[in-house]
Amino acid sequence: MEINFECKKCRCIFDCDIGNVSLLENSDRPFFEKKIICPTCGERSMDELLLTELGQSQLTQATLDFEVDDLSDFGFYEGECQGCDMFQPLNDLGLCEECAGKLERDLIRESDRDNTISGYGLDSAECEEIRKKVIKEYGEKLELIASNKPKKKKCKAAKRKKKKAKTA
């Protein structure tokens, strides 16, 4: 990618292709894949350069993309899974890999394709194909959503108690 720099020595402003940007673990400074070359002075280190306003927003954009990519990966953080209560690496929904798979299949079974990963952006016919495949391989019964149903019943019971208390 190209970043806009200003050379501290000759004061010229130039675009430089720095390749990929990565963030190093022990530094808050971004690491550039390629060397930064000033058109008049040649190779420059980061200390001999300034980021222009444009350069700053280009760099922010690049590192933002980087963080978003990280979030979608498994193992972003560890904790108690919302589905099975086991301590495991979780995704951004707070589900372990196995439960995330169950949820995905449940959403497909319920044709809730906007919330699925595999059905996103597909038309209803394509989604129905995936649904048939899931039901054929894993059965028609809901896996994760079903296990949450007792909790919902408890909620309803609590509400009923409240009503009784009011009438009494």
Which range binds Zn ion by CB under 5 A, 24-32, 96-104, 117-125, 144-152?
96-104
Residue 81 contacts Zn ion per CB under 5 A: yes
Helix 97-109 to helix 124-138 angle (10° resolution) is 120
Buried b (16+ CB within 10 A) or exposed e, 42-52: eebeeeebebb
Which range binds Zn ion by CB under 5 A, 52-60, 88-96, 110-118, 148-156?
88-96
Residue 124 contacts Zn ion per CB under 5 A: no
Q: How far is the CB of 17 from Zn ion (least distance, A)?
A: 17
Residue 96 contacts Zn ion per CB under 5 A: yes
DSSP letters spanning 153-168: HHHHHHHHHHHHHHH-
Residue 16 contacts Zn ion per CB under 5 A: no
One-letter amino acid for residue 98 of the chain: E
Which range binds Zn ion by CB under 5 A, 10-18, 109-117, 135-143, 155-163?
10-18
Q: How far is the CB of 88 from Zn ion (least distance, A)?
A: 6
Virtual torsion, Cα 64, 67, 33, 27, nearest 10 deg: 100
Residue 84 contacts Zn ion per CB under 5 A: yes
* Residues within window 39-58 making contact with Zn ion, judged by CB under 5 A: 40-41
Query: Which of 21, 38, 49, 134 contacts Zn ion by CB under 5 A?
Result: 38
Q: How far is CA 154 from CA 101, 162, 163, in A?
A: 26, 13, 15
Which range binds Zn ion by CB under 5 A, 6-14, 15-23, 25-33, 52-60?
6-14
One-letter amino acid for residue 39 of the chain: P
* Whole-number Å distance between alpha carbons of 82 and 88: 10
Contact residues toward Zn ion (CB under 5 A) are 7, 9-10, 38, 40-41, 81, 83-84, 96, 99
